[in-house]
Amino acid sequence: MIDYIISGRSKKEGLHSDNYNKGFDSRKIKIDDGIHYCNNCNHTWSKVAAYVDSSRWRKYPEGNIPILGKKRIECPGCKTLRKGRNDNY
Ligand SMILES: [Zn+2]
C-alpha cells in the first residue's frame, strides 16, 4: 500500500518536470531567434514589446549573448544615428 503511494507520486513529479523543461526550452529558442547582431556597434539587439522598452528594441551588453549564427542587422540606434549624420551633409 505504501509502495503504491510512493511510486504513484514520483510518477506524477516526473511528468511535471518534463512539461516544465519543454516549456522552458521553447521559450529560450523563441527569444534567441529574435536576436540580431549589429556590425556597427558590435552589440546584439532584439525587438521588444512596448511595455519592456518604449523605443521597442533593446541592446544587450557586449559578450552576454554568443554572436555566432545571429543575423547581421544594423540596430535601430545606429540606423537613427546614421540618418541624422546624413541629414547634416
Ligand atoms: Zn548598432
H or E stretch at 6: helix 2-33
How many structural domains compose the chain?
Answer: 1
How far does residue 25's CA lie from ligand 1's centre (Å)?
Answer: 28
How far does residue 44's CA lie from ligand 1's centre (Å)?
Answer: 8
41 inside domain: yes
- DSSP bridge pairs for 44: 37
4 inside domain: no
Please choose, from the candidates 40, 39, 23, the residue with its C-alpha nearest in 3D space to the C-alpha of residue 31.
23
Residues that place a CB less than 5 A from ion ligand 1: 38, 40-41, 75, 78
Interval 29-86: pLDDT, tens? 455 568 899 999 999 999 999 998 899 999 988 766 777 888 999 999 999 988 887 6
Name the residue with cell 536576436: 35
Between 47 and 24, residue with greater pLDDT: 47
73 inside domain: yes
Domain extent, residue 79, equals 26-88
